[in-house]
Amino acid sequence: ELDVRIGKASVTFGRLTSRVWNDKLLTLNTKVSIYQACVLSTLLYGCESWVTYSKQERRLNSFHLRCFRKILGVTWDQRITNNKILERTGLQSMQTNLDVRRLRWLGHVERMPQARLPKAVLYGQLKNRPRRRGRPKLRYSDKVKQGLKKFSIPTDNWENPAHNCSVWRSRVKAGAVTAE
């Protein structure tokens, strides 16, 4: 799935190179907006339900930063750090972006009626299935808890603010700012 997403986003980015990224008349803010609308939405389509490991997040982040280095015209020998690139564009890192999208989806599912399938899947448990040896695989709930902790949202009482859409959105937005 990740290879397909990166491939599609790369094609989208490449198609916009001559018309957008190389155009000197467009401002950086316009280019960032186009990047978010076209490339980032293609790259992160459906990411709200992904369970990503750090290796996958690093691949997404490297693609994200490679695109912005091309947009800004920054080469490797200029030795500009990734944080400086993100500061110049005003965007968040890919890990924070994934967490924001995951938590916004979590709030959306929490506001759904009990009978909806996404809510049943979110709160469902598998019946006594024997566990395999070794370290357990990362689950969606584990990634959500990591995101909640990273954004300083209490893991035991996140449902109450999630019922109010505007409160939840502002909580997630504020958490993303502090996490960066």
Residue closest to 48 by CA, chosen among 144, 120, 129, 151: 144
**And the tokens for 26?**
């467009």
Instruction: Evaluate whether 117 touches 168 at the Cβ level (below 8 Å).
Output: no
The rounded distance, in Å, linking the Cα atoms of 65 and 86 is 8
Instruction: Evaluate whether 16 touches 103 at the Cβ level (below 8 Å).
Output: no
Instruction: Evaluate whether 60 touches 42 at the Cβ level (below 8 Å).
Output: no
| Residue 113: pLDDT over 80 | yes
Q: What percent of the chain has pLDDT over 90?
A: 78
Tokens 């990740």 locate to 2
Q: Encode pLDDT of 60-73 as tens digits.
A: 999 999 999 999 99
Give the per-residue pLDDT at 61.
95
| Residue 116: pLDDT over 80 | yes
Instruction: Evaluate whether 6 touches 60 at the Cβ level (below 8 Å).
Output: yes
Single-letter code of the amino acid located at 39: V
